[in-house]
Chains A and B, each alone.
Chain A
Amino acid sequence: MSEKTFKCHKISEGATEGEVLISQDDIMFYLIDPKTGIVIEKGHSLEGKSVAGKILVFPSGKGSSVVQADGMYQLAKNNNSPKAMIIKYPETVLVATAIIMETPMVDRVDEEFYETVKDGDVISLDADAGKIVLKKRV
């Protein structure tokens, strides 16, 4: 297939490449097991799935102003962090946490991206250049 490029807007700097994991629900990183990267929140659309090493696509963050940071920090300590995050609705707690934890994050992605991308697709993301490239479909 030919590569497809989408525009996006930088929130937290950095570039990476990896597999996509899409969440329908907002994410609270504290309710992810840091040892495995598996979401333990009851009823969450990612319950039982691991975010480790994935490029997470989700609407927004939710929950406490403190534990979002500890959730991401513990994931990083155990090498189970997501590689990058693509969000729709930026909110301060999540944005500040991504910047402090130095995890690339973007928003304002072309609507076509959401219509195209599926779990397991491989993309490259360059927050500074404001560019996402879809490299491999599942």
Chain B
Amino acid sequence: MKLTKQQEEMLGGKYSEGTATALKIQIAVGESFGAERLVPITRAHVALSNQDADLWFAEKLLKAGAKCKIPPTVNPGFCLSYFQKVTTISEEDASLMQRTHEAYKALGAVLTYSCTPYLGGNIPRFGEIVAFSESSATPYVNSVWGARSNRESAQSALCAAITGLVPEYGLLTDENRQGDILVEVQAEMKSDFEYQLLGYMGKKIGNGVPVFTGLPKYVTPEAHMNLGAQLNTSGAYGLYHIVGVTPEAQTLEAAFGGKEPKRRVTITDEDLQGILQEISEEGARKIDFAMFGCPHFTISQVQEIAKILAGKKLKSEMWILTSSYTKELAERMGLLEVINNAGGHIVEDTCPDQPCWHHLKGKLGVTESPKCAYYPKRRGLSFVIRDLRTCVEAALKGEVE
């Protein structure tokens, strides 16, 4: 890879050993993809995870003197002050969260603790070169906003925030942004929930940039969030196109750059029902809790829940995870009160795959997000997956269809 004089100096340790380490990692990644140079970024989002590896790497760079040149927004950990009030947090888990907080603060991150920075706080413009990690965030900034980011890992995004650079390859080039796979959707997309299942078809869709046809003219922001989050649970997708919807796919020809698709896939109602059966625990039984907000729920999703809960009492626990901004809005708008009166909670800064859910270990929940059901398996939580309304009604009855 060709480096400028300033980049050579950075690699030589002029700006700190930590910055040099970050650049060294980026050069190794870039060279494995055949990148010829490094280009500057203007935004970054680091998928902080408050796990051992995350903390180990952040502290390693920090101790070696690294600072973020481009202050990145960050993903949720868990809201320590909140959970210390409502449940028991072990000293070890509290210390992990505290140290993660201190490390990212010292690195100079913007402590948003939200996995939906693309809806507010960190929105790139069309064509802007950025480094975004996080399942739904990378495809959202690429596909919906037309910015250019590779599917960074949490660590490679942190390296980019520190150096202010990324190697130029992959989705940063015109050619690699063209579609590979034509995905003809014949399934009926009745609500945002069907996009969760469509996203979970990664195994059938295969490797490459998918181009979806047959979707409605208006695809909600929530549907895009769901599609991207699940595509990156069932597979690895930095970018998708929806013909007539996303900016680089106004026509089918534009989406494929005038070339023929390398693969064609059809998705039917049976495919979506089949995948739901495969990934969901069996229904028709009692549940212990409901969990929403993977990715963080928007204010309109909170409104939808509040509308169903108004004046009623929940039989099961309900946890709705949002950004601090959405929670603040919910409070102002009286939605938090409605949900609290029903016995539900809105929690900011938190993710389902965190140690704060220890009290739900071995219990059965409902969620509308396959991603929410997938990762916390390692922590002993299991889920029945249903659409949002069915989940909320299940939490009212304490039993799922």
Contact = CB atoms under 8 A, between A and B. Distances in A.
Most buried by B among A12, A42, A65, A90: A65
Interface stretch (B25-33, B79-87, B253-261): B25-33
A100 B25 contact: yes
Contact of B353 (A26, A67, A95): A67
**What is the interface of chain A mostly: helix, strand, loop, or mixed?**
mixed
Contact of B377 (A31, A68, A70): A31
B232 A92 contact: no
Most buried by A among B157, B234, B235, B378: B378
Interface in B10-40: 25, 28-29, 32-33
A31 B170 CA distance: 27
Report the interface size class on chain B.
35 or more
Interface residues of A, number: 40
A63 to B, nearest CB: 6
Contacts of A62: 202, 232-236
Interface in A22-67: 25-26, 30-31, 40, 42-43, 59-67
A95 B151 contact: no
A42 B138 CA distance: 26
Nearest to A105: B32
Nearest to A10: B32
B232 A63 contact: yes
B157 to A, nearest CB: 8
B207 A65 contact: no
A96 B278 contact: no
A15 interface: no
B155 interface: yes
A109 interface: no
B52 interface: yes
Interface of B: 25, 28-29, 32-33, 47-49, 51-54, 56-57, 75, 133-135, 138, 150-157, 170, 202-203, 207, 232-236, 238, 278-279, 353, 371, 374-375, 377-378
The 4 closest A-B pairs by CB, nearest first: A73-B53, A96-B156, A66-B49, A65-B133
17 contacts: A13-B28, A25-B203, A30-B375, A31-B374, A60-B236, A62-B232, A64-B371, A65-B152, A65-B153, A66-B47, A66-B154, A67-B353, A70-B52, A90-B32, A90-B33, A92-B170, A93-B156
Interface of A: 9-13, 25-26, 30-31, 40, 42-43, 59-70, 72-74, 77, 89-97, 99-100, 107
